[in-house]
């Protein structure tokens, strides 16, 4: 599915970025656009010296994005470098990153090519036992990520952070920014802003129990888990990383229900407060699924209708 946030670049522009990063003597032998993602443009390149690399290009400043998506390539690169330095979970290496805008008007970076396949592409071909092993391992890795403690709550790049040391303050800001994005984009919300804000205000108090900023990947769905021969070989797309509540992680969403993941992670977290927090995070992602349709300008009427109906279903779950 095409997204208006993707800044597609020509072979000549790719060549310029390669020579800037790797030296004038290095060129491109082959280039393949990767179409699996929905936000950045990405290319798999074979360089003239025989190396392979992935080039990711952020949207231009002129492209409308959601508030939390501003400068998130900085988050991705810094999070990848942090996790590479920790050595506890497998991530691709960052070869070069440039956000100076001196040679090109967008942020971009080059990273290692992973020898594996996205889990979502092979999941249906695996036995229940094979899926269980992968999801158990994912639970273990996700727990290791969430055990990393930060100094304050907020987005990894610091663009949204807490002035009072409160996770509730940060999450309220993220939610309010998202609803303001919907207003700015003219999204035809199926639930009124007044109703949303009134019901949310009644629930934000449950976030007071979250007192330690923990590293959260937040986008660790199956497409961002690369596997090979029944094992996880890389966790990718760290651009939405934040310091927050581990219960924001994807495998705690209503979309998934993997006993193997819970066993690997070490719990389901179903106390009344934990269930209430998960319902807030469920609604947040359902709102994003719908509102981002109008920043990315998806042309698929079917997807927009799905996001609309999914939001109404999510609202019913939130208010039940």
pLDDT digits (tens, 9 = 90+) for 58-97: 887 878 889 999 889 999 999 999 999 999 999 999 999 9
Question: Tens digit of pLDDT for each residue in 247-306?
Answer: 999 999 999 999 999 999 999 999 999 999 999 999 999 999 999 999 888 777 888 999
Question: Tens digit of pLDDT for each residue in 145-155?
Answer: 999 999 999 99
Give CATH superfamily name and number for 11-111: Phosphorylase Kinase; domain 1 (3.30.200.20)
Long-range CB contact pairs, 269-273, < 8 A, 24+: 273/206, 273/209
Say whether pLDDT at 4 is over 90. Answer: no
Confidence of residue 48 (pLDDT cuts 50, 70, 90): very high
* Other C-beta atoms lying within 10 Å of the C-beta of residue 169: 18
Say whether pLDDT at 3 is over 70. Answer: no
What is the pTM assigned to this prediction? 0.94
What residue segments make up the domains of the chain, in order of their start? 11-111, 117-319
d(Cα 129, Cα 177) in Å, to the nearest integer?
42
Q: Which CATH class is domain 117-319?
A: alpha beta
């Amino acid at each position: 599915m095409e997204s208006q946030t993707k800044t597609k670049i020509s072979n000549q522009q790719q060549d310029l970025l390669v020579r800037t990063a790797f030296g004038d003597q290095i060129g491109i032998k082959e280039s393949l656009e990767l179409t699996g993602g929905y936000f950045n443009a990405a290319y798999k390149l074979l360089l003239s010296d025989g190396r392979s690399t992935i080039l990711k290009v952020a949207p231009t400043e002129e492209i409308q994005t959601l508030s939390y998506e501003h400068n998130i390539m900085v988050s991705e690169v810094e999070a990848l470098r942090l996790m590479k330095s920790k050595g506890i979970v497998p991530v691709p290496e960052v070869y070069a990153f440039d956000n100076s805008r001196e040679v090109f008007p967008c942020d971009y970076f080059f990273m290692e090519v992973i020898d594996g396949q996205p889990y979502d592409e092979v999941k249906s071909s695996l036995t229940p036992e094979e899926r269980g092993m992968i999801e158990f391992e994912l639970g273990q890795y996700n727990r290791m990520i969430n055990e990393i403690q930060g100094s304050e709550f907020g987005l990894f790049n610091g663009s949204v952070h807490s002035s009072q040391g409160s996770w509730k303050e940060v999450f309220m800001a993220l939610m309010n920014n998202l609803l303001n994005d919907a207003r700015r984009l003219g999204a035809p919300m199926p639930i009124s802003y007044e109703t949303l804000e009134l019901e949310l205000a009644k629930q934000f108090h449950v976030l007071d129990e979250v007192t330690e900023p923990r590293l959260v990947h937040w986008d660790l769905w199956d497409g961002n888990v690369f596997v090979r021969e029944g094992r996880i070989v890389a966790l990718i797309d760290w651009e939405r990383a934040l310091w927050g509540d581990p219960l924001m992680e994807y495998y705690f969403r209503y979309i998934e229900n993997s006993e193997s993941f819970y066993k690997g992670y070490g719990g389901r977290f179903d106390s009344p407060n934990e269930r209430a927090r998960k319902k807030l995070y469920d609604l947040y992602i359902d709102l994003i699924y719908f509102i981002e349709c109008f920043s990315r300008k998806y042309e698929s009427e079917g997807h927009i209708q799905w996001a609309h109906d999914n939001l109404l279903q999510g609202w019913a779950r939130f208010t039940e």
